Structure 1
Amino acid sequence: MKPEVMSPVGGWPQLRAAVEAGADAVFFGVEGFHARAKVGFTNEELPDLMRALHERGVLGFVTFNILVFDRELRGAERQLIHLAESGVDAIIVQDHGVARLAHEICPDLPIHGSTQMSITSAEGAELARRFGASRVVLGRELSLRDIGRIAAATDMELETFVHGALCVSYSGQCFSSEAWGGRSANRGQCAQACRLPYEMLVDGVHRDLGDARYLLSPGDLYALHQVPDLVNLGVNCLKIEGRYKDADFVALTTAAYRKAVDEAWAGLPLSVTPGEERDLEQVYSRGLGPHFISGTNHQGVVRGRAPRHRGVRVGTVRGTTERGVLVELSEEVKPGDGLVFDPANWRTPEGREEGGFLYGLWQRGRQVEAVRPGETAELRFGRGAVDPSRVRVGDPVWRTHDPTLGTRVRPLLEAHDPIHTRPVTAHFRGHVGEVPALTLTDEGGRSVTVTLEGPLQPARNRAVDEAGLREQLGKLGGTGYHLAGLSADLSGPGFLPVSALNALRREAVEGLTALRGQAPERRITPRLDEVLREVAPQLSAHAPQPRLHVLVRTPEQLDAALAERPDSITLDYLELYGLKPSVERVRDAGIPVRVASPRILKPTEQNLQKFLLSLNADILVRSGGLLEGLQEAPNLPTLTGDFSLNAANVLTTRALLDLGLNRVTPTHDLNARQVTELAALVGPGRLEVIAYQHLPVFHTEHCVFCRFLSQGTDYTNCGHPCESHRVALRDERGVAHPVMADVGCRNTVFEGRPQVAGAHLTTWLDSGLRDFRLEFVHETPEGVREVIRAHRAFLMGELSAPALAARLQALSDQGTTEGSLFVPEGFDRLPALPVL
């Protein structure tokens, strides 16, 4: 099947642009429960919006792509019912439990697993199918080869991003906004901490990164040249990112990918012109490239010079004058262009960039209209717009605004008649003495038949024929259709006035349009109350003694943990294949042992499942794909689901437990009070909560070790600096955040300050929670021992909560934080918990 082109829509202008540029589908949010909180449509607008889309043959997919909290479940059910009744073509869902609830409420409403589900394998896609999904949006970190392997291993529909902003972190696995601002990226409140500048510390020493201060800010995805490959792989939908972008962006990108898909489907070569590519870069770009889709190259994903829109590079500064800047031009510029001189903000700590609208060009003392690429000209700006003393030789010059771009986009934005039309076929039946009938059929097989009131009369002069029918029935301008085929059943000869034939055509078009705009009939039944009764917890009458579970990341930390003899030890090593001796050490000490799985598993990494099982240790499951893969494995060890499975409510937590997990660690999107409430809903014995950790703020395919400590492109030629160096990223507040690599060469950036739950431990204990985990990153062995001892003393009643907090504060040279556990003021005024 020909893949859909799907466009982002943040409002009505973008919607019109997408439709006229040829989108097969658009995606957008409706009020709450979507990950672009500042844009979208209202519930009242939705029925009319869907009718308008369907009349034009465009699918409307609604983003329901946030984690849903327990106090929001009733509101979520009401919203899901409204979406189903309004005729949306699918919902894009992150939360597994909400996906299952939606499927039970309306089995006829298609569900698409969001990229926020972190799906990077066929197993991950199959897990989404368990929860009702018929399509999944793949992670943006997959290569063409990875996508092909997934397509060959599942019959799930696959959707992949082809254009727009890249997150440095895997979608659904970023907690930076939660850690540093109390805002959740999984809740549509991303603070874009990845677009901020950082300094790199290597083994404690500052490393000069030159102009790459924005070392976590990737360029934008541009996969237009990979469209033929994606079509050949059988990908079902190509998706453009950008619900915050304007109508110009939507129009240009949609038109480009519409053209590319049509050409690839027809077996034609891509015919994109340099001018069209330049327009795509001009309308919005942080630097375009295929990035991961063409394979891993850590030197190319993040340039790091600037985090914002750059547009098209037009030249390089060669000097300054009293009135302007001398620039060697690589592109033609003209008065009215918006230009910026890129100083790389490492040289201007306040972040200010010089730039403005070009007033004119001068050469040899005379104003000129044009300058050829390769020549140097003096660029002058309005009074006070540019301070030449702040512009340096060698600075790149970018055109961030091209006023002529609007003239090329305007036809798509201001057309009175539809530009992109849908095919219809017509069948005319005209027998003399019988009532003539016209049937119009659209591309989806929907048909409307209209008739005249009286019979067809014999022709006296010119008889109705196929040529005349084609001429009159093909006059579909302004309707959104074009005539793709005509058949006629004529007997007579008969006569039909042109006015009557035109009336038939208009009536048929109106009838077909009305039919296309009708909302589908769907079975819709409220199901939340019944589902909640099904997941009611079975509470134990006897609460066990509190247990301390310790997670270590180095053999030295393991030595310290063994000396303190916690209730279990989890090994989370960079080198998985060095785990076996450590597993045996823990087992020989008589302590239960677990191994932590990677958070991401790609198609070529599925053999890690066999390796983990071969260790004969319990497993901390961090990957949805791994959890699915383990469903058919015999003689499973004890499985604990980690935070990365994003259990945010009772429905998701209970569903994960039903897949064989013994306990689940809630997502870091929950505050301490929400953790307590979740314990009451699922049973406190089914949760394992983290009392001490460095919050994993970014989990990224991009490797900063490879990018900045080697000349290599990936693990095959980087020299593995991650094995011999410690790296931290220091933010503008002066806090250094450790970076660690995992077995897949993915990096995790951890919050530099330990997140401690001391202020909430008493409440957690009172709620019945008994399994507490302590996680270590760069702590010394002595630090590991002291943290374990402090928590054990608290649990034994030998240390108060304030004393615990004080001791942990003293152990950290950067202080501690409450982080994601902070309970905001007014939390108790939120809707009540669902009653089980």
Structure 2
Amino acid sequence: MSLRAELLAPAGSFLSAKAAVNAGADAVYMGGRRFGARAYAVSASSGEEDMLMEAIEYCHLFSVKVYMTLNILFKDFELKELFSYLKPYYEAGLDGVIVQDLGAASVIRRDFPDLKLHASTQLAITGPEGVLLAKRLGFSRAVLARELSLEEIRRIHERTGLELEVFVHGAMCYSYSGACFMSSLLGGRSGNRGRCAGPCRLCYETGGKKAFYLSMKDMETLDLLPELLSAGAYSLKIEGRMKSPLYTAGVVSVYRKYLDLALSGRDFSIEEGDREILREMYDRGGVSNYLKRRNGPEMLSLSERAFRAERAEISEPIRENYLKRERTLPLSADFYVSPGERASLSLTLLSGEGEEIGEIRIVKETEEIAEAAEGRALLPREVEEKLRSCGGSGFRLEKLSLRMEGALFLPISSIKRLRREAFSELRRAILEKRRRRTGEAGQGEARG
């Protein structure tokens, strides 16, 4: 059987989105400043830059998809604002939206017909009937409830044929997402408006005994990845938009390793050191899931977790590899200059195997014209040094060809400016391939 899959990572901030990309995610899901089910995530509460727009550009540079969370229940006046809110992200190339409110889904389908709709887990879809309804309503993917078994996922896949997204790691709610009103009733903060206060994580008393009776252990499914793929799960989703970039990087890197192993068809086994990484990232006193069980006290984290100091031997390699180290795209570069002409720099994207992709090729020239050297001539090593200074650009030169005709003079500043402008134009060209034009596709506010 030919298997394919997407590793979907959480991003509550631009730094988390960057960590997810660097650690190997195929896609990230992230909220903007409004209408997301995590109103207290950094991306929603920051008064500074638009982190989602920044994340879209960074992710698309490395061919990683971005899904925007619009997974709350909307008020009528908010539906009228949805077109203008979503338009800039749509034009930037947003790959899909995760939606709970069926009215919002209808508006999006009308105004942005080519934007993919994903039915949120907040819709509490637990069977084929719910998935088939989502399909009829225009959704291209259903995010299944976390309470399903492997066999239930398999049955849904076989009966519906719709793309399925399944949670594989992270926090579990005591109740069905989207159908829980505990936070709203106890404190006036509705989970269906993105403001869940997490009352199920509090200590309660019954029969004279205090414990965390509603606090679920976290989900972890490393051992079950081959079975999930076989059951028909396509997008494997990691929970954690409220968690740190370190959490995102650590968890994504481990799941990337074992998802690739599962897809390869080779013998599948988990190294204990990788389980330790997951425990170090976040630990509620054990792990559980519904994939092969229905209930039981073993699924609850009844006692309060003791504080645990960070273990540098686990966290520091993750910081170095995914948070501090910049991910870059490999390039082939051709520099040519001769007296009486402008120097030119040609850039071509390379594949991971070092072959030219060829779809995007940039050629830039200097403003200054090279002259025959009367004194000290420009040296090839000087040119190479300046061209290879790629820090912060998102690129690296894997191949560099220098052709310099005779002894000539050209200011070093001119070569540095040529490199910067060429890199900037290449970046724009890559991102432009993902951009859209709204045109007459929608006039949401005008229609009311």
Q: How far apart in 1 are the matches of 2:395 and 2:445? A: 43
What aligned pairs does 1:1-80 form with structure 2 within 5 A after superposition? 2-41=4-43, 44-80=50-86
Return the offset for 1:196. 2.2
- The alignment partner of 1:36 has SS state of coil
Matched with 1:515 is 429
Letter in 2 for 1:258: R
Return the offset for 1:58. 1.6
Report the TM-score, using the length of structure 1 for normalisation.
0.43
- The alignment partner of 1:401 has SS state of coil
Letter in 2 for 1:68: F
1:448 lines up with 2:360 in the alignment? yes
Q: How far apart in 2 are the matches of 1:446 and 1:220? A: 45
Matched with 1:285 is 283
Matched with 2:402 is 498
Matched with 1:691 is none
Return the offset for 1:499. 5.1
Q: How far apart in 1 are the matches of 2:358 and 2:263? A: 24
1:525 to 410, 419, 442: 442
Structure whose CA Rg is larger: 1
Letter in 1 for 2:91: E
Return the offset for 1:287. 2.9
Q: How far apart in 2 are the matches of 1:103 and 1:272? A: 42
- The alignment partner of 1:54 has SS state of helix
Letter in 2 for 1:32: R
User: Could you list the per-position Cα deviations for residues 413-450 of structure 1 after superposition, in whole angstroms to 9, with x for gaps in the alignment?
Assistant: 443432xx6688x899xxxxxx998854669x881135
Return the offset for 1:498. 3.5
Report the TM-score, using the length of structure 2 for normalisation.
0.77
User: Kindly tell me: are residues 45 and 293 of structure 1, through their superposed partners in 2, closer, same or farther at Cα, counting changes over 3 Å?
Assistant: same
1:118 lines up with 2:132 in the alignment? no
User: Kindly tell me: are residues 265 and 511 of structure 1, through their superposed partners in 2, closer, same or farther at Cα, counting changes over 3 Å?
Assistant: farther
Matched with 1:415 is 324
Matched with 1:166 is 172
- The alignment partner of 1:294 has SS state of coil
Task: Tell me the number of residue pairs that the alignment of Structure 1 and Structure 2 aligns.
Answer: 392
User: Could you list the per-position Cα deviations for residues 626-660 of structure 1 after superposition, in whole angstroms to 9, with x for gaps in the alignment?
Assistant: xxxxxxxxxxxxxxxxxxxxxxxxxxxxxxxxxxx
User: Kindly tell me: are residues 179 and 497 of structure 1, through their superposed partners in 2, closer, same or farther at Cα, counting changes over 3 Å?
Assistant: closer
User: Could you list the per-position Cα deviations for residues 640-695 of structure 1 after superposition, in whole angstroms to 9, with x for gaps in the alignment?
Assistant: xxxxxxxxxxxxxxxxxxxxxxxxxxxxxxxxxxxxxxxxxxxxxxxxxxxxxxxx
1:402 to 301, 311, 321: 311
Letter in 1 for 2:435: P
Letter in 2 for 1:38: Y
User: Could you list the per-position Cα deviations for residues 95-148 of structure 1 after superposition, in whole angstroms to 9, with x for gaps in the alignment?
Assistant: 011011011111121111110011112221122223331111110001111111
Return the offset for 1:12. 2.6
Q: CA RMSD in A?
A: 3.5
User: Kindly tell me: are residues 199 and 497 of structure 1, through their superposed partners in 2, closer, same or farther at Cα, counting changes over 3 Å?
Assistant: closer
- The alignment partner of 1:160 has SS state of strand
The answer on whether the counterparts of 2:14 and 2:54 sit within 8 Å (CA) in structure 1 is no
Q: How far apart in 1 are the matches of 2:91 and 2:325? A: 31
- The alignment partner of 2:85 has SS state of helix
Letter in 2 for 1:179: L
What aligned pairs does 1:642-791 form with structure 2 within 5 A after superposition? none
Matched with 1:188 is 194
User: Could you list the per-position Cα deviations for residues 54-83 of structure 1 after superposition, in whole angstroms to 9, with x for gaps in the alignment?
Assistant: 112221111111000123222333212233
1:245 to 231, 243, 246: 243
What aligned pairs does 1:187-226 form with structure 2 within 5 A after superposition? 187-200=193-206, 206=207, 213-226=211-224
Q: How far apart in 1 are the matches of 2:162 and 2:246? A: 33
The answer on whether the counterparts of 2:31 and 2:70 sit within 8 Å (CA) in structure 1 is yes
The answer on whether the counterparts of 1:162 and 1:240 sit within 8 Å (CA) in structure 2 is yes
What aligned pairs does 1:351-750 form with structure 2 within 5 A after superposition? 399-418=308-327, 440=349, 447-450=359-362, 498=402, 512-518=426-432, 519-523=434-438, 524-527=441-444, 530=447
- The alignment partner of 1:292 has SS state of coil
Q: How far apart in 2 are the matches of 1:127 and 1:476? A: 54
Q: How far apart in 1 are the matches of 2:303 and 2:158? A: 39
Letter in 1 for 2:321: L
Gaps of 5+ in 1: 201-205, 311-339, 341-397, 429-434, 454-474, 487-495, 533-836
User: Kindly tell me: are residues 74 and 12 of structure 1, through their superposed partners in 2, closer, same or farther at Cα, counting changes over 3 Å?
Assistant: same
Q: How far apart in 2 are the matches of 1:253 and 1:244? A: 14
Q: How far apart in 1 are the matches of 2:262 and 2:426? A: 30
Q: How far apart in 2 are the matches of 1:130 and 1:288? A: 39
Q: How far apart in 1 are the matches of 2:140 and 2:389? A: 36
Q: How far apart in 2 are the matches of 1:413 and 1:499? A: 36
Q: How far apart in 2 are the matches of 1:28 and 1:100? A: 21
The answer on whether the counterparts of 2:119 and 2:143 sit within 8 Å (CA) in structure 1 is yes
Name the structure, 1 or 2, with higher relative contact order (CA <8 Å, separation 6+): 2
The answer on whether the counterparts of 2:69 and 2:97 sit within 8 Å (CA) in structure 1 is yes
User: Kindly tell me: are residues 417 and 528 of structure 1, through their superposed partners in 2, closer, same or farther at Cα, counting changes over 3 Å?
Assistant: closer
User: Kindly tell me: are residues 402 and 294 of structure 1, through their superposed partners in 2, closer, same or farther at Cα, counting changes over 3 Å?
Assistant: same
Letter in 2 for 1:254: V
Letter in 2 for 1:259: K
The answer on whether the counterparts of 1:112 and 1:133 sit within 8 Å (CA) in structure 2 is yes
Q: How far apart in 1 are the matches of 2:295 and 2:358? A: 48
1:149 lines up with 2:151 in the alignment? no
Q: How far apart in 1 are the matches of 2:427 and 2:257? A: 26
The answer on whether the counterparts of 2:36 and 2:72 sit within 8 Å (CA) in structure 1 is yes
The answer on whether the counterparts of 1:440 and 1:509 sit within 8 Å (CA) in structure 2 is no
The answer on whether the counterparts of 1:28 and 1:62 sit within 8 Å (CA) in structure 2 is yes
Letter in 2 for 1:408: P
Q: How far apart in 2 are the matches of 1:222 and 1:230? A: 12
Return the offset for 1:215. 1.5
Q: How far apart in 2 are the matches of 1:294 and 1:483? A: 49
Q: How far apart in 2 are the matches of 1:269 and 1:47? A: 40
